[in-house]
Amino acid sequence: MTSYNDFVIRFANVNGSGSASANGMFAKALFRMGIPVASRNIFPSNIQGLPTWFEVRISEEEYFGRRSEVDIMVAMNAETFEQDVASLRSGGYLLYDSTKGRDPKLARDDVVPIGVPISRLILSEFTDPKQRQLFKNIVYLGVLTSLLNIDFSVITNMVSTQYKGKDELIQPNIHALEIGRSYAQNYLDCPLPIQVRHSERLGDRIFIDGNEAAALGAIYGGATICAWYPITPSTSMAEAYEKHASKLRVDPDTSENKFAIIQAEDELAALGIVIGAGWNGARAFTATSGPGISLMTEFLGLAYFAEIPAVLFDIQRAGPSTGMPTRTQQADLLAAAYASHGDTKHPLLFPSSPRECFDFAASAFDFADRLQTPILVMSDLDLGMNEITSEALEWDDSRKYDRGKVLGADDLDKMEVFGRYLDVDGDGIGYRTLPGTHPSKGSFFTRGTSRDEYATYTEDPDAYSKNMDRLLSKWETAKTLLPAAEIHSEERRAGIIYYGTTTTPMSECLALLDEQGIELDTMRIRAFPFGPEVVEFIDNHEIVFMVEQNRDAQMKMLMTNELDLLPSSIQSILYYGGMSISADFIVDEVLSYYQTNNIPRIKVVSS
């Protein structure tokens, strides 16, 4: 039986061998055939010589989560060959270089071996050793076009576009593709029973990673200053900001840059620059990861207490400490939410798709200006660095930036008294002024020490407490402003909560559970602090699961702490191995909870 547009293929390569561009081309070609795809790069913290994998999930159903077993393995790394063979599902296909014969480690008789003498084919056609290495990747791509029935013209067009301007590279690449393609046609059974075909499902959607989308969101949201320090997996966001700003933010008449990028000396300085700029009225951001957040906690406390807008993107990776720098986790929630000493807390946003990275990035600057506080956008490596099918980016041209409560010279002229930290409107947010606004009114001293409503230093207990209480009142205002949780409820007995990239496998997970007679209501958390709908959802469900990618159930901790819940009111499903969580894992955990607790699989409970 032939299946279409529904499989997982994994490429096992050595990093630094040029495989990334060939593999990327494979994923993009399928996308261009209109097929929903998600890619995952599983790479080492290393530049050259270590194992790396690239995985593509092709799914007409739009199931984009990782799956532990793969259907097709392109095994190009001798070092990991054994492990790669083992990861194939029974009945899967193994494409390997058969130049040196069949590897004795290929000990499984329940998989289909597809040997192609790739090195030998290359040897006679190319003389340059570097080309021989690079074109191995292109040859297997050619083989796959035949095996999977990929539209060959889509690939050749991509090669032509990719090497536009370096025309001498186009022909050899296409030649290498044809070598693989014709070998497969002549010697292999093509196409395989799992294959692809043109699809109409994509519509106007795009293939993009979260970091690039977030960078575009920062540009659209009016960020003019990016200060950063290189750290995986956030680096590509700062680089994408630079790439796109250089096109979208350059004055056509004067060639001046309407943006400034500073690669700072460390993460401390990066956030210091952002805070200095925010204090002076420019929209500024930094992109970092867990270790950077640790270093930034001092400044986060200052910005919280001195009430200065700032936007941080935390592209989370596996901790603690240096942890697994190239693996994904959602393990910075507590560090980010309560960053810094003293009573501090910070609003967090949890995007779950590239489109939402764009939207939340743009909105984060409005929230920061309105709330006069740092906003942390909590993405992760899986979302940030992997291209996935996403809704197209949209912008409403009538949208205006919310610059928050900033007084100009005219406002000050009309005022009798200006108090920077006076709660004039009862929402906990004072009015601020920018340096240089007025010759005699509105200047104040910003400090990390305690002060009264007029920004004057004080150690008076009442003035201190009043200020701390006003910050709590501002926290309440934040709840009304930030994106509410997304809830799908049919008043079922059990519900499942997720956020960020635990969203990715959820549609598949719910479908699999449905087959098992378990139906779940869902709630996707989009921001911290939580709105009233979050408590309501938990209160209204007898069983509540929470899916997270960290060991200590950090979102659950935030909820039980902030919402005064009993810890037993939420059942944690925790994956923290550093790969992205799969639907199978969640399904197994839910099923085992039902079994252990003898819960009947009733679909709907009428109340």
Q: Which of residues 431-490 bind other proteins (CB under 8 A)?
A: 433-440, 443-449, 456-458
Stretch that binds other proteins, among 181-189, 203-211, 514-522, 571-579 (CB under 8 A): 203-211
For residues 167 and 459, which CB has a smaller minimum distance to other proteins in the complex? 459
Q: Does 201 bind other proteins (CB under 8 A)?
A: no
The C-alpha atoms of residue 174 and residue 275 are separated, in whole angstroms, by 51
Q: Does 396 bind other proteins (CB under 8 A)?
A: yes
- The residue with tokens 């200060």 is 227
Rounded to a whole number of angstroms, the minimum distance from the CB of residue 226 to other proteins is 10
**Of 255, 309, 319, which is closest to residue 286 (Cα–Cα)?**
309
For residues 164 and 601, which CB has a smaller minimum distance to other proteins in the complex? 164
Quick check: 525 and 498 in contact, CB under 8 A?
A: yes
**Of 239, 33, 325, which is closest to residue 152 (Cα–Cα)?**
33
Rounded to a whole number of angstroms, the minimum distance from the CB of residue 58 to other proteins is 17
For residues 274 and 581, which CB has a smaller minimum distance to other proteins in the complex? 274
Sheet strands (E) in 62-134: 70-75, 88-97, 112-116
Q: Which of residues 278-307 bind other proteins (CB under 8 A)?
A: 278-282, 284, 298-299, 302, 306
Going from the C-alpha of 528 to that of each of 250, 288, 544, the distances in angstroms are 35, 19, 19
Residues across the chain: 607
Q: Which residues, at least 6 apart from 515, have a Cβ–Cβ distance to it below 8 Å?
A: none
Backbone angles phi, psi at 459, to 5 degrees: -115, 15
Q: Which residues, at least 6 apart from 596, have a Cβ–Cβ distance to it below 8 Å?
A: none
Stretch that binds other proteins, among 125-133, 180-188, 249-257, 562-570 (CB under 8 A): 249-257
Q: Which residues, at least 6 apart from 288, have a Cβ–Cβ distance to it below 8 Å?
A: 228, 229, 231, 234, 267, 270, 296, 312, 313, 314, 315
For residues 36 and 495, which CB has a smaller minimum distance to other proteins in the complex? 36
Rounded to a whole number of angstroms, the minimum distance from the CB of residue 346 to other proteins is 16
- Kindly write down the DSSP assignment for every residue of 48-80, as one continuous string: SSSEEEEEEEEETT---SB-SSEEEEEE--GGG
Q: Does 244 bind other proteins (CB under 8 A)?
A: yes
144-160: b (≥16 Cβ within 10 Å) or e: bbbbbbbbbebbbebbe
For residues 340 and 504, which CB has a smaller minimum distance to other proteins in the complex? 340
The correct pick among 43, 64, 135, 259 for binding other proteins (CB under 8 A) is 259
Backbone angles phi, psi at 456, to 5 degrees: -95, 135
Beta bridge partner(s), residue 467:
none
Q: Assign 281 to helix, strand or coil.
A: coil
The correct pick among 85, 174, 262, 579 for binding other proteins (CB under 8 A) is 262
Q: Does 227 bind other proteins (CB under 8 A)?
A: yes
Rounded to a whole number of angstroms, the minimum distance from the CB of residue 246 to other proteins is 11
Stretch that binds other proteins, among 37-45, 129-137, 151-159, 391-399 (CB under 8 A): 391-399
Beta bridge partner(s), residue 374:
310
The correct pick among 109, 200, 397, 416 for binding other proteins (CB under 8 A) is 397
- The residue with tokens 């001798």 is 78
For residues 158 and 565, which CB has a smaller minimum distance to other proteins in the complex? 158
Stretch that binds other proteins, among 79-87, 192-200, 320-328, 390-398 (CB under 8 A): 390-398
Rounded to a whole number of angstroms, the minimum distance from the CB of residue 412 to other proteins is 11
For residues 186 and 254, which CB has a smaller minimum distance to other proteins in the complex? 254
The correct pick among 272, 290, 384, 531 for binding other proteins (CB under 8 A) is 272
- Kindly write down the DSSP assignment for every residue of 570-581, as one continuous string: SEEEE--SSSPP
For residues 113 and 404, which CB has a smaller minimum distance to other proteins in the complex? 404
For residues 182 and 458, which CB has a smaller minimum distance to other proteins in the complex? 458
Q: Does 219 bind other proteins (CB under 8 A)?
A: yes
Binding letters toward other proteins, positions 400-429, x by CB under 8 A: xx----------------------------
For residues 280 and 480, which CB has a smaller minimum distance to other proteins in the complex? 280
The C-alpha atoms of residue 233 and residue 578 are separated, in whole angstroms, by 13
Q: Does 31 bind other proteins (CB under 8 A)?
A: yes
Rounded to a whole number of angstroms, the minimum distance from the CB of residue 403 to other proteins is 9
Q: Does 21 bind other proteins (CB under 8 A)?
A: no
Calculate the CA 472 to chain-centre distance.
Answer: 30
Q: Does 198 bind other proteins (CB under 8 A)?
A: no
- Kindly write down the DSSP assignment for every residue of 298-335, as one continuous string: HHHHHHHHHT--EEEEEEE-B-STT-BTTS-----HHH
* Residues touching other proteins, count (CB under 8 A): 76
The correct pick among 150, 155, 277, 376 for binding other proteins (CB under 8 A) is 277
Stretch that binds other proteins, among 217-225, 467-475, 487-495, 522-530 (CB under 8 A): 217-225
